[in-house]
Amino acid sequence: MSLTLSLLDLFTYFIPGSIFLYTIIEFLALFRILDIDFSNLTSSPFIFISILLSYILGHVLTALYALVWKPISVKFPWNKKDVEQEALEDFKNDYPSIPVEYVTNDTTLLYALLRERPSPNASLERIFRQFVYMHMTGNLHFAIYILAIKQFTAFILLDYPINLLIIGVMLTVIGFLLRTWSRTRWYYFYYYVFCASIAYGPSLIEVLNNNVPKWKVAPITEIPGGSDHQKDPVIE
């Protein structure tokens, strides 16, 4: 788990935070507020401060992503349905014999409960892996989008050099691809949480009240609704 947490810190906080820090410095230089020559800043104190700031900014980026960017991005026309709602509807369709009463926004509490108890029908490690992936790609694509905005801003302010436009477009494409993958990870996370939670009951209230599993459902697979996905769970 320590290795997993280290990778979580690296890819979810440090790398996106480094991109965010670089973008901030570039914006300050673009508007002639601050101009830093990185070639002269190779001392140990500067490197340590940069690492610390990158890690802190990674957490700031996480908050900005959750509070600002995610609510905006779900309104885009190509997002026809909320990803949590989509996962819940697919779960209900995959298990039609279960009277599922979960609603959207239940998954945060359901996941917290699952981390405190064993799950007989779904791997918590697999759920946690989706949790890591979705936050990693979420922060990365957000940081890259911000960097792309800087490139487009520089393109306009510096008399339209074509290389800045090309870099901005490439960053936008990379950000969009990462965002698409991030949305897929969010979908799997929600779906797997529902799969694990159903062992304790088909509603949030039952999951809260039941510490002992009462439903037996086939183990979750990598592809929800796949051919090896059991449609009719056995109720004990």
185 CB-side CA count, 13 A: 20
What does the domain layout of the chain look like in residue ranges? 2-235
What gap in Å lies between CA 142 and CA 45, rounded to an integer? 28
How far is it between the farthest Cα atoms of the chain? Answer: 71
Q: For the chain, how many residues are written? A: 236
Our measurement of the distance from residue 216's CA atom to the centroid of its chain's CA atoms, rounded to an integer in Å, reads 29
Which pTM was predicted?
Answer: 0.76
Output the pLDDT for position 118. Answer: 64
Least confident of 33-42, 64-73, 153-162, 192-201: 33-42
Alpha helix segments (H runs only) across the chain: 2-8, 15-30, 44-64, 70-73, 83-94, 107-114, 124-157, 162-197, 204-209
Q: Of 27-36, 85-94, 133-142, which range is least confident?
A: 27-36
DSSP letter string, 141-167: HHHHHHHHHHHHHHHHHTT--HHHHHH
pLDDT digits 0-9 by tens, 15-46? 899 999 999 988 988 888 877 766 666 667 77
Whether 182 and 201 have beta carbons less than 8 Å apart is answered as no
Contacts of 229 (CB under 8 A, 6+ apart): 94, 218, 220, 221, 223
